[in-house]
Copies of this chain bind each other. A is one copy, B any other.
Amino acid sequence: MSMTLQTKKMHELYEECKRIGISETSDVIEEAQSAEEAEFFAKAFDIILQQKQKNVVAEKRF
């Protein structure tokens, strides 16, 4: 299945989001251009953090 241009862009940006370290997220949120953008950044980082934590738990195989 070929990806649309929109999906390609979203894929790139998702990868970028994952590369941003937890310690850097506050700085990025502070630099947001509006309150709505700041909210979006905070929630997006939260989703990524949750996914990373889920993987850590899965790797421990409790």
Residues of A that sit less than 8 Å from B by CB: 1, 3-4, 6-7, 9-14, 16-17, 19-20, 24, 27-28, 31-33, 36-37, 39-41, 43-44, 47-48, 51
Contact = CB atoms under 8 A, between A and B. Distances in A.
For this chain, the copies found in one complex come to: 2
A40 to B, nearest CB: 5
Given A14-B41, A40-B51, A44-B13, A6 B33 contact: no
Contacts of A3: 31
A14 B2 CA distance: 23
Nearest to A41: B10
Nearest to A43: B47
A7 B40 CA distance: 12
